Amino acid sequence: MKRQPRSSPRSGKTRRTVSIIGTGSYVPEKILTNADLMRMVDTSDEWITTRTGIKERRIAAKDEHTSDMATKAALAAMEQAGVSAKEIDLILLATATPDMMFPSTACLVQTKLGATKAACLDISAACAGFLFAIEIAQQFITSHTYETVLVIGAEKLSSITNWNDRNTCVLFGDGAGAAVLRHRGSAHGVIATHVGSDGTYADILFMPGGGCRTPITLENADKNLQTIHMSGKDVYKQAVIAMLAASKTVLGQAGLTIDDIACVIPHQANLRIIEAIADRLKIPLDRFYVNLDRYGNTSAAAVAIALDEANRTGRIKSGDYILMVVFGGGLTWASTVIEW
Ligand code: UT7
């Protein structure tokens, strides 16, 4: 028999249920395979596949920016939700690769959509950004501040990748995913959310250039400071620790166990990280939705694209409990349990 979750300790019995009423995603046409990368850096399909599980990733066109991909994902989510641009109260866009430092990419998406009444802001929480945005959206809807929130995770990581660095360039890709959230009046919706950060690990995954500390100059550009810098082994270790803890915390808040979860949608960074979490949670790998073989790590977009695919392919069904859990630079981590 299906277990009934208890209501979130933070929100109490009178909380408004917040539902994801539509999802959408977009990935660019251009495919970059492991074989293509072998012609660019000293690597092999065997190394990339066994160390990461990635086979190919998508790369945006030169004139295709984060806001363009975000808009396409948003339109698909809005169409599925049956929500028009004019109904959107708030646009939250999670990204580490905004079109520019300011205005926010969310503002640029607002204009492309014609979502004239929406308040707009970007969320900076690296790969964890989409679930941070879901948490914020939920708070605004639960508090009756807004009715309809558009949440987007979108990245053009190819624009901050050092294509000469084999340690990082094989990992990342471009794309966008989106969800429309609203109070639906049924029990189905977000049951529990958890977010966390630890800035003491800021230097294991970061982009040093481009901010006020290291502005873009010719000299800094030569040092590749405007690209991703990562200590892979440290990130790997922290990713497993943080995603495992975040999964257990949110399940506890929801009053559920891992056995109640029909589908886990994790951050799509490395298949070995997902296998390690499956092993420690003691559930089979096939309970996880995995698409990193096709897209690589698309940071804030990854879990959003995976959620849309799981939704549209019927991998998640009405009434299923799903667990989403992510990890990113910062460090940041987040987890959400939803009754679909
Ligand atoms: O959203 C979060 C973003 N980041 C992550 O999630 C990354 C988490 N970390 C990882 O996924 C893994 O640490 C990596 C996939 C990045 C690396 O795997 P690893 O098993 O930790 O390899 P390593 O860094 O210890 O490197 C092992 C060897 C090194 O050679 P030596 O020093 O042993 O001779 C690397 O130079 O593999 C070498 N190497 C490569 N060889 C072929 C590193 N990158 C490559 C490559 N092709 N692309």
Beta bridge partners of 23: 179
Higher pLDDT, 225 or 220: 225
Residue 117 has pLDDT above 50, yes or no: yes
Tokens at 40, concatenated: 């660019």
Mutate to test the pocket of ligand 1, among 34, 48, 51, 299 (most ligand atoms within 8 A of CB): 51
Q: How far is the CA of 129 from the centre of ligand 1 (A)?
A: 24
Q: Name the pLDDT band for 185 (thresholds 50, 70, 90).
A: confident
Beta bridge partners of 19: 182
Backbone angles phi, psi at 318, to 5 degrees: -55, 130
Sign of the C-alpha dihedral computed for residues 129, 131, 132 and 133 taken in this order: positive
278-285 CB contacts, 8 Å cutoff, 24+ apart: 280/240, 280/244, 281/244, 281/247, 282/258, 283/258, 283/259
pLDDT digits (tens, 9 = 90+) for 224-239: 899 999 999 999 999 9
State residue 6's pLDDT score: 46
Average pLDDT score over residue span 308-314: 98
* Fold matches, 19-186 and 190-339: yes
Rounded CA separation 306/27 (Å): 12
Residue with tokens 């667990």: 323
Q: For the chain, how are helix, strand and coil distributed in percent, rounded to 5?
A: 40, 25, 35
Rounded to an integer, what is the distance from CA 41 to the centroid of its chain?
A: 27
β 90-94/148-156 pair status: parallel
State residue 52's pLDDT score: 98
Superfamily of domain 19-186: Thiolase/Chalcone synthase (3.40.47.10)
Element (H, E) at 181: strand 174-183
The set of catalytic residues is 127, 267, 297
Residues in the chain: 340
Write the CA distances from 211 to 95, 100, 195, 200, 329, integer angstroms. Answer: 15, 11, 25, 19, 16
Nearest by Cα to 107 from 72, 151, 115, 30: 115
Beta bridge partners of 32: 57
Write the CA distances from 156 to 50, 61, 248, 327, integer angstroms. Answer: 25, 10, 31, 18
State residue 5's pLDDT score: 52
Contact 286, 113 (CB under 8 A): no
Nearest by Cα to 295 from 320, 270, 314: 270
Nearest-atom index, ligand 1, CA of 167: 44
Q: How far is the CA of 300 from the centre of ligand 1 (A)?
A: 21
Q: What is the CATH number of domain 190-339?
A: 3.40.47.10
Q: What is the CA radius of gyration of the chain?
A: 19
Mutate to test the pocket of ligand 1, among 236, 277, 292 (most ligand atoms within 8 A of CB): 236
pLDDT digits (tens, 9 = 90+) for 74-113: 999 999 999 999 999 999 999 999 999 999 999 999 999 9
Residue with tokens 């989510």: 77
Rounded CA separation 245/32 (Å): 34
Question: What DSSP line would sit under 19-79, residue for residue?
Answer: EEEEEEEE--SEEEEHHHHHTTSS--HHHHHHHH---EEEE--TT--HHHHHHHHHHHHHH
Write the CA distances from 334 to 32, 105, 321, integer angstroms. Answer: 29, 22, 17
Nearest by Cα to 282 from 306, 303, 257, 307: 257
Domain ranges across the chain: 19-186, 190-339
State residue 4's pLDDT score: 56
Rounded to an integer, what is the distance from CA 139 to the centroid of its chain?
A: 18
Closest residue (by CA) to atom 18 of ligand 1?
51
Share of the chain above pLDDT 90, in %: 90
Q: Which residues line ligand 1 (CB under 6 A)?
A: 43, 47-48, 51-52, 127, 166-167, 170, 205, 230, 232-233, 235-236, 239, 269-270, 297, 328
Q: Name the pLDDT band for 188 (thresholds 50, 70, 90).
A: confident
pLDDT digits (tens, 9 = 90+) for 29-84: 999 999 999 999 999 999 999 999 999 999 999 999 999 999 999 999 999 999 99
Q: How far is the CA of 228 from the centre of ligand 1 (A)?
A: 14
Closest residue (by CA) to atom 3 of ligand 1?
269
Rounded CA separation 194/14 (Å): 19
Mutate to test the pocket of ligand 1, among 167, 230, 237, 327 (most ligand atoms within 8 A of CB): 167
